[in-house]
Amino acid sequence: EVQLVESGGGLVQPGGSLRLSCAASGFTFSSYEMNWVRQAPGKGLEWVSYISSGGSTIYYADSVKGRFTISRDNAKNSLYLQMNSLRAEDTAVYYCARETPQLDYWGQGTLVTVSS
Amino acid sequence: QPVLTQPTSLSASPGASARFTCTLRSGINVGTYRIYWYQQKPGSLPRYLLKYKSDSDKQQGSGVPSRFSGSKDASTNAGLLLISGLQSEDEADYYCAIWYSSTWVFGGGTKLTVL
């Protein structure tokens, strides 16, 4: 069974940092492209970042470019999102999602709250 | 102007059909893109429903009933999601998405009320 489990969310002050993790199981993680997608409270889905299966190709939404860094460790079946210089508008549930090319499996999400 | 525009809300009666539109920004040709559709029920994570580019290039998500289908309206430059035989359990937010310029772009979502 495919499982994606995010962790690392929490309350952080504006300007602070957080590192999100997504633990994958039930499939050959190293063969799949992965994404982070977020959803602010009561709002729609917003794509954040993409990483290719080997990690060599990475894309970011303009809203996070230069502040967020996506990475993966295929040996550990894990996806990461390093978030720096956080802003109030980054407050959201962050989902990791497998791409096939549709986003066919999503984790339950981890809530990031940026507030003083 | 957003890349993808969806109506905010839609309501329909049980047993009726619902037609969701996802309009691409002028200059972005709907014929070029696969349109992906996702469903999100309150308090749940998004679920992939289907993708549609043409009648020969489409795919239903795993376990998604055949009463969910995709199409396009070239005259309005829009992707369409059609749900027939509406059930109360179909009440949810529906999002369209495309892979555009090396990014995933989501529409703002349409909230379906079944009443």
Q: Which residues of A touch B40 (CB under 8 A)?
A: 45
Structure-block tokens of residue A47? 């794509």
Structure-block tokens of residue B98? 């495309």
Maximum Cα interatomic distance, chain A, rounded to a whole number of Å: 40
Contact yes or no for B96/B109 (Cβ under 8 A) = no
pLDDT digits (tens, 9 = 90+) for B5-49: 999 999 999 999 999 999 999 999 999 999 999 999 999 999 999
Contact A95 B46 (CB under 8 A): yes
Q: What is the pLDDT of residue B47?
A: 97
DSSP A62: T
**Mean predicted lDDT score pLDDT of chain B:** 97
Q: What is the pLDDT of residue B30?
A: 97
Query: CA of A16, closest CA in chain B: separation in Å?
Result: 26
Backbone angles phi, psi at B30, to 5 degrees: -60, -30
CB of B70 within 8 Å of any CB in chain A? no
Q: Which residues of B touch A102 (CB under 8 A)?
A: 36, 48, 51, 59, 61
Q: Which residues of B touch A107 (CB under 8 A)?
A: 45
Q: What is the pLDDT of residue B98?
A: 98
* Residue of B47, B59, B104 lying closest to A35 (CB–CB): B104
Three-class DSSP labels, B53-81: EECCEEEECCCCCCCEEEEEECCCCEEEE
Query: CA of A108, closest CA in chain B: separation in Å?
Result: 6
Query: CA of B108, closest CA in chain A: separation in Å?
Result: 6
Contact A102 B40 (CB under 8 A): no
Query: CA of A89, closest CA in chain B: separation in Å?
Result: 17
**Cα torsion angle, A3, A8, A13, A15, sign:** negative
pLDDT digits (tens, 9 = 90+) for A42-101: 999 999 999 999 999 999 999 999 999 999 999 999 999 999 999 999 999 999 999 999
DSSP B34: P
* Residue of B34, B59, B106 lying closest to A45 (CB–CB): B106
Which of A102, A106, A110 should be substituted to probe chain B, the one whose Cβ sees the most B Cβ atoms within 10 Å? A102
Q: What is the pLDDT of residue B16?
A: 97
Give the chain B residue whose CA is nearest to the CA of A98: B48
Q: What is the pLDDT of residue A82?
A: 98
